[in-house]
Structures are given as C-alpha cells and as structure tokens.
C-alpha cells in the first residue's frame, strides 16, 4: 500500500478542484451541511435528555411541556382545555393572562392533563 505525503494529497485535492469545481464544491457543501446537522442533532439529544419530565413552569409553552413529557401538545391542549395556538405558541403565563386567571390555575390544568395522558398511555 503506497504511502502518500501530505504535500501529494494537497496537490491531488487542488487538481480535483481545478478539474471538477462544481462536483468538489457540492461535496464540500454536503460535508458542511452534514457537520451542521450532526451538531444540531447532538445538541438537541443532550438538551432533551437533561430536561425530561421537567416541572411545569409559567415560561413554558404547551409544545415545550409536550416534548419534555413525551406527549402530544395537541392532546395536552385538549385535555387541559387550552386554546390551540394561532400565530405563535403562547407561554402558560400568556394563556393565563388572556383568560384572566392565575398562572397556577393553568399550570394545575396542564399537570392534570399530563397525569391523565400518562395514565391513558400505560
């Protein structure tokens, strides 16, 4: 098996870029995109492994609660009697403000919905 020097490998790479600029550019772009998505996937996996079944707080959206508890946000909305988001997801504090009720009441409804949905799943 031949041993290629670093200088030879660099020369081959430059030669390939000159001969096939579009192909090599596409290869470089594919490599960069692969690295970006691998980093995003890893960061998401690490984040959600540490935030599994997190205590429900007023800053959370129903979608966040659903991801944390591995439940469908739509089912949480239904079970808790919450409005479906129209333009952008609302935090539990914003939902409480719109309804004119304390945040603790909305959190209790969401927690009851979580308990109910978890019991249905098991």
110 shares its domain with 67: yes
Residue 105: helix, strand or coil by DSSP? helix
Tell me how crowded residue 56 is: count the other CB atoms within 10 A of its CB.
Answer: 20
| CB contact at 8 A, 31 and 76 | no
73 shares its domain with 113: yes
pLDDT grade for 88, boundaries at 50, 70 and 90 = confident
Average pLDDT, the chain: 90
* Total count of domains within the chain: 2
Q: Residue 57: inside a domain, yes or no?
A: no
Q: What is the pLDDT of residues 25-67, one digit of tens each?
A: 999 999 999 999 999 999 988 887 788 888 999 999 999 999 9
Tokens standing for residue 112: 């009851």
| pTM of this structure | 0.68
Q: Residue 1: inside a domain, yes or no?
A: no
Amino acid 85: pLDDT: 79
57 sits in the region (left: phi over 0; alpha: psi -120 to 50; else beta) called beta
Q: Residue 55: inside a domain, yes or no?
A: no
**CA–CA distances in Å: residue 80 to residues 21, 33, 97, 109, 115:** 57, 40, 16, 5, 11
**Domain limit, last residue, from 15, 30, 50:** 50
Q: Residue 46: inside a domain, yes or no?
A: yes
Of 113, 106, 112, the C-alpha closest to 57 is 106
Q: Residue 76: inside a domain, yes or no?
A: yes
46 shares its domain with 69: no
| CB contact at 8 A, 107 and 92 | yes
Amino acid 2: pLDDT: 66
42 shares its domain with 70: no
User: Residue 40's domain spans which residues?
Assistant: 6-50
Q: Residue 84: inside a domain, yes or no?
A: yes
């Amino acid at each position: 098996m031949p041993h290629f020097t670093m200088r030879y490998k660099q020369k081959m790479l430059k030669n390939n870029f000159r001969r096939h600029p579009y192909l090599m550019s596409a290869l470089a772009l594919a490599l960069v995109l692969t690295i970006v998505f691998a980093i995003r996937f890893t960061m998401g996996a690490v984040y959600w492994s540490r935030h599994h079944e997190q205590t429900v707080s007023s800053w959370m959206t129903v979608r966040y609660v659903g991801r944390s508890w591995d439940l469908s946000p739509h089912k949480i909305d239904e079970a808790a009697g919450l409005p479906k988001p129209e333009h952008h997801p609302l935090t539990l504090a914003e939902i409480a403000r719109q309804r004119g009720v304390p945040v603790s009441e909305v959190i209790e409804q969401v927690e009851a919905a979580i308990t109910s949905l978890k019991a249905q799943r098991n």
